[in-house]
Amino acid sequence: MKFFLDTADIGEIEEAASWGVLAGVTTNPTLYAKIGGKLSDFHAHIKRICEICDGPVSAETVSLDRAGIVREGEELAAIAPNVVVKVPVMPEGLAATKTLSERGIAVNMTLCFTVPQALMAARAGARYVSPFVGRFDDISEDGLEHLGNIVAALRNYVFEHDVEVIAASIRHNQHVVAAALMGADIATVPFAVLQKLVKHPLTDRGLEAFLADWERVKNA
């Protein structure tokens, strides 16, 4: 499983990239608003992210009609070769995804919650499909069960192009572990989750013991 960072924060992206584990970045309007992003800076901001991370960088469209989504998608794709256009699952989004993918532009279909939505996204030409896990948990449904169903359903079929599942709306380590075990291709995680993924109390305790013993070696 590959790790993407679900953020628009440049500092977080730089730090994760320096660890050598960052395979891509996903952004959305909420994440851009969270860092105080301005409309006039949006394209420059995505360009900066693409310079830090040479993997796929998802930038989301906000139009609701197919022509608008295609126009926005083409503008976003022109920012850098690794931009992936993020499009919500909806009829106009599917139509725009078909057009964009036929024009050689990679699309990540987002706000995906069900198996039929995921299958339609893949059929329309989406290169990535993003099932949301945590938002199901928020409404007391099992987000991981839905993710597992989507991974299993997509695996049953051969598409004309590669389709990768991005487990999104990840809230904690167990989401990531389960996503990996069920074979999700990618987990896009907030930086706070990425930081927790590298930690374990036994690692800390082991390191403490190694360092204490090395002090004994030095003083022997």
Q: Would residue 86 show up in a list of annotated catalytic residues for this protein? A: yes
CB of 33 to ligand G3P, least distance (A): 12
Asked if 49 interacts with ligand G3P (CB under 6 A), we say no
CB of 58 to ligand G3P, least distance (A): 8
CB of 29 to ligand G3P, least distance (A): 10
Asked if 49 contacts 26 with a C-beta cutoff of 8 angstroms, the reply is: no
Asked if 27 contacts 53 with a C-beta cutoff of 8 angstroms, the reply is: no
CB of 27 to ligand G3P, least distance (A): 7
Residue 183 Rama label (left phi>0; alpha psi -120 to 50; beta): left
No. of H helices and E strands in the chain? 11, 8
- Those residues with Cβ within 8 angstroms of residue 26's Cβ, 6 or more apart along the chain or in another chain: 4, 5, 6, 57, 58, 86, 108, 130, 166, 168, 188
Asked if 123 interacts with ligand G3P (CB under 6 A), we say no
Of residues 123 and 135, the one with the C-beta less far from ligand G3P: 135
Q: Find the catalytic residue in 86, 196, 199, 218.
A: 86
Asked if 135 interacts with ligand G3P (CB under 6 A), we say yes
Asked if 169 interacts with ligand G3P (CB under 6 A), we say yes
Of residues 141 and 204, the one with the C-beta less far from ligand G3P: 141
Question: Helix/strand/coil (H, E, C) string of 28-65?
Answer: CHHHHHHCCCCHHHHHHHHHHHHHHCCCCEEEECCCCC
> Binding residues for ligand G3P, how many (CB under 6 A)?
9
- Please give the torsion angle defined by the CA atoms of residues 96, 97, 102 and 105, in that order, rounded to the nearest 10 degrees: 110
Of residues 6 and 185, the one with the C-beta less far from ligand G3P: 6
Catalytic residues: 86
Would you tell me which residues interact with ligand G3P (CB under 6 A)?
6, 26, 28, 132, 134-135, 168-169, 188
